[in-house]
Amino acid sequence: MSAPLFPLGLIGKVSGRAVVLCGDDIDTDRIIPARFLKCVTFDGLGQQVFADDRGELKGEHPLDRSAQQGANLLFVNRNFGCGSSREHAPQALMRWGIRAVVGESFAEIFYGNCLALGIPCFTSDHAGILSLQEAAKADPAQEFSLDLEALVATSSSAQQWPLQLAVGARQMLLSGQWDATSQLISHDRELNRVANQLPYLNSFITAQ
């Protein structure tokens, strides 16, 4: 088997500062409004994430506060990412800078779309989420480490919270199997060998 051209995206731990978004049932229409779905590529979506909410709050939205700039973790509540199945929602969050989300629960399609981007969606119980959010709001400069192996969130002040992550998703992130493109590229030699053995492809190439 040929060596990978690029290393697979093994994800074992995500660390950084956090943004707290409070409220249940925050849907994908709010995460990225429909008018931004006309884009040909996902480039620039990060600037439009929560565009309507941010416009209403006039600079006071958590994503606009100076203390949260550069944060890469998102702490949310129940049923985050519900509504339409638009993949633009996790794309917009990722392009703003988010690399992991912790919440009480997630909409299934949003969860899957995040996994396809290598964004872990951890869960914790109601009390745990409220405690985690309070810790992040009390000290916006505080950093948190989300460990996929130990399934625990640890703050820079040494406080800890238990996390959950579905077995399948956890294995995909730890092994790099979430990254379908890198896996495909890493098997380029085998793919070309099989393609060269397919008579209908060889006939097409010869005819050209």
Residues 6+ apart with CB under 8 A from 26: 76, 77, 79, 80, 81, 82
Where do the CATH 3.20.19.10 domains begin and end in the chain? 13-177
pLDDT of 194 reads: 76
pLDDT value of position 7? 43
Q: Which residue has the tokens 């339409």?
A: 84
> Tens digit of pLDDT per residue, the chain (208 long)?
333 333 457 899 999 999 999 999 999 999 999 999 888 788 899 999 999 999 999 999 999 999 999 999 999 999 999 999 889 999 999 999 999 999 999 999 999 999 999 999 999 999 999 999 999 999 999 999 999 999 999 999 999 999 999 999 999 999 888 866 665 566 567 766 777 777 766 654 455 5
Q: What is the C-alpha radius of gyration for the chain, rounded to an integer number of angstroms? A: 20
- Residue 143's pLDDT is 97
CATH topology for 13-177 is Aconitase; domain 4 (3.20.19)
- The label of the residue with tokens 């709050």 reads 57
What is the reported pLDDT for 9?
A: 74
Phi, psi of 16 (to 5 degrees): 155, -170
